[in-house]
Amino acid sequence: MPNKNLAIRTVIFSLLGNIALATIKFIAGIFGNSYALIADGIESVLDVFASVLVLIGLRYANRPPDENHPYGHGKAEPLITFVVVVFLIVSASTIAYQSIQHILTPHELPENFTLWVLGAIILWKEISYQIVIRRSIKIKSNSLKAEAWHHRSDAITSIAAFIGISVALYFGEGYESADDYAALIAVLFIVYNSYKIFRPALSEVMDENNHDELISRIREISLQVKGVKGTEKCFIRKAGMEYHVDLHAHVEGDLTVTEGHDIAHLLKDKLQKEIPQLGHVLIHIEPA
């Protein structure tokens, strides 16, 4: 439960930050004559909707198991991540389209103060990224990782805008569209980050076997339980912030059913105590 509450508080932190930044970017972009900032603002608006979806997804994923969902609702988290990726792609496409339109349409140079605004935004977004990514790693949350990369992609877009506006202001007339070209470059980074977010979520939905470190730890802990002679098959499925485990454990072949059953319970309790993020643990007893 503490991990789940931490995830929800983190998304609320991102949501409030995105609302504030979207407002600042639009105001600065309109009065500072910078489409790169306005494009940044468009991305932040989409980030707000994405954060709301992540928040809804986390709350649903944290619901306890029920009759129709005996393994809980954790799979909702990667599904929400897919939606967040769609938002990122829509954001990138919107920025690319509008940037091309502005490149084809002559406009004035950006104002100097937009650089100060962008500098503050870049700093805040990188701080936000570091906070959210650390928490996503701590609680093993793909949707929080997607939220973190939203901050990083926003920072990258702002850096590109900062460079573009700097070029436009330094070289002057004839370079008015430099920030628009910078926004196009930022689009490439956003698309790349979208893939980095999408791939782990797809892995989770498809139950890919990429939990070697956790499997090794489970086998090591299992041998500490009295009566367990070894382990064989160990299958893991990730659902949200929990890992469901199917484990085959070897015991002496001449034990009674009751004795084997007791060892299985001891092993299950030991694993869930040592590895709190484990959800369902199914132990299959086999003769050594």
Average pLDDT across the chain, whole number: 81
pLDDT the model gives residue 218: 92
Cβ-contact 210, 203 below 8 angstroms = yes
Q: What is the pLDDT of residues 227-269, one digit of tens each?
A: 889 898 899 888 777 888 999 999 988 888 898 899 999 999 9
Q: What is the pLDDT of residues 73-118, one digit of tens each?
A: 777 777 887 887 887 788 788 878 877 887 777 667 777 888 888 8
Question: Are 77 and 142 members of one domain?
Answer: yes
Q: What is the mean pLDDT of residues 7-18?
A: 82
Q: Give dist(CA 244, CA 282) in Å, integer.
A: 8
Q: Is the pLDDT of residue 31 over 60?
A: yes
Question: Are 117 and 179 members of one domain?
Answer: yes
| Among 6, 23, 25, 11, CA closest to 165 | 25
Q: Which of 170, 205, 240 is the last residue of a domain?
A: 205
Query: What DSSP character marks residue 105?
Result: S
Question: Are 132 and 216 members of one domain?
Answer: no
CATH number at residue 227: 3.30.70.1350
Q: What is the mean pLDDT of residues 34-53?
A: 74
Cβ-contact 234, 253 below 8 angstroms = no
Q: Which of 139-148, 173-182, 201-210, 226-235 has the highest mean pLDDT?
A: 226-235
pTM for the full predicted model: 0.65
Question: Are 31 and 146 members of one domain?
Answer: yes
Number of domains composing the chain: 2
Helix ranges restricted to H, the chain: 2-31, 35-61, 76-104, 113-139, 142-171, 178-205, 212-222, 257-274
Q: Which of 149, 172, 205 is the last residue of a domain?
A: 205
pLDDT the model gives residue 271: 92
Report the share of the chain in percent with pLDDT over 70: 95
Question: Are 105 and 235 members of one domain?
Answer: no
Q: Is the pLDDT of residue 3 over 70?
A: no
| Residue of higher predicted confidence among 264 and 208 | 264
Cβ atoms < 10 Å from Cβ of 174: 9
Q: What is the pLDDT of residues 114-132, one digit of tens each?
A: 888 888 988 988 898 888 8
Q: What is the pLDDT of residues 172-188, one digit of tens each?
A: 777 777 777 877 877 88
Q: Which of 162, 183, 205 is the last residue of a domain?
A: 205
State which residues form the domain around 280: 212-287
